[in-house]
């Protein structure tokens, strides 16, 4: 299955290290990040899970739930979490799905046969409270993800969902933003009464809206 931006993500039930879940019910009312790992007891995955555990307060502050997935049995997840705590100095503090039958991996297109016909690639799915896919990323098994960058993209997604703006290249929280081209100048004056800097008619720059 190929998920596209704006699609309602597939629902599923699964066993996790925090108990059984129904995914849509688990998301209910929140943003969510689902990210997959090729296999338990692999080095890059171990560093990533430790990093997400460290950053969990930042996800919480944005009302974002995080959940990992590995195609191993639930019984193996506990031993792996012990290794993560020992080597990374962080106890895993979010659910980790046991997907040994690869049901979820298949639903979300996490297995790319040209890379491996058994292990998932490093997939990231950012999902809105409406259960629609807002962003997806795919990394090869050999390359660890930058979760600070994923937080940055969530900041952009949450901001642009509330206001008629887009974020420019390398935007960071608090930086200037761009009024979307679909908003006329007349409508923009109502939303941005302090005005904007017009670099081109299609490139109108304003300070980041508050709230």
Q: What is the pLDDT of residues 116-172, one digit of tens each?
A: 444 556 789 999 999 999 999 988 888 899 999 999 999 999 999 999 999 999 999
CATH fold for the domain made of 163-206: Antioxidant, Horf6; Chain A, domain 2 (3.30.1020)
CA dihedral sign of residues 146, 24, 109, 157:
negative
Q: Mind telling me the catalytic residues?
A: 45
Q: What is the pLDDT of residues 17-54, one digit of tens each?
A: 999 999 999 999 999 999 998 777 889 999 999 999 99
Q: Where in the chain is the domain with CATH 3.30.1020.10?
A: 163-206
Confidence band for 106, pLDDT divided at 50, 70 and 90:
confident
Task: Give the C-alpha separation, 106 to 90, whole Å.
Answer: 30
Q: Where in the chain is the domain with CATH 3.40.30.10?
A: 13-144
- The class (CATH top level) of 13-144 is alpha beta
Which residue matches tokens 């799905």?
Answer: 97
Helices 43-61 and 74-88, packing angle to 10 deg: 80
């Amino acid at each position: 299955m190929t998920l596209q931006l704006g699609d309602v993500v597939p629902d599923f039930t699964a066993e996790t290290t925090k108990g059984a879940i129904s995914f849509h019910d688990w998301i209910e009312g929140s943003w969510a990040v689902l990210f997959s790992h090729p296999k338990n007891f692999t080095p890059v995955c171990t560093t990533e899970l430790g990093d997400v555990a460290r950053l969990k307060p930042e996800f919480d502050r944005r009302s974002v739930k995080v959940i990992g997935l590995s195609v191993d049995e639930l019984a193996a997840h506990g031993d792996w979490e012990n290794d993560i705590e020992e080597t990374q100095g962080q106890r895993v503090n979010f659910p980790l799905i046991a997907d040994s039958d690869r049901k979820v991996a298949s639903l979300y297109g996490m297995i790319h046969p040209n890379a491996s016909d058994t292990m998932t690639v490093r997939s990231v799915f950012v999902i809105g409270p409406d259960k629609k896919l807002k962003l997806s990323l795919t990394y090869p098994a050999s390359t660890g993800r930058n979760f600070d960058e994923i937080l940055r993209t969530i900041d952009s997604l949450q901001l642009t969902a509330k206001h008629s703006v887009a974020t420019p290249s390398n935007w960071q929280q608090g930086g200037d933003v761009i009024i979307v081209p679909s908003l006329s100048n007349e409508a923009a004056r109502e939303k941005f009464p302090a005005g904007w800097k017009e670099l081109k008619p299609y490139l109108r720059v304003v300070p980041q809206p508050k709230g």
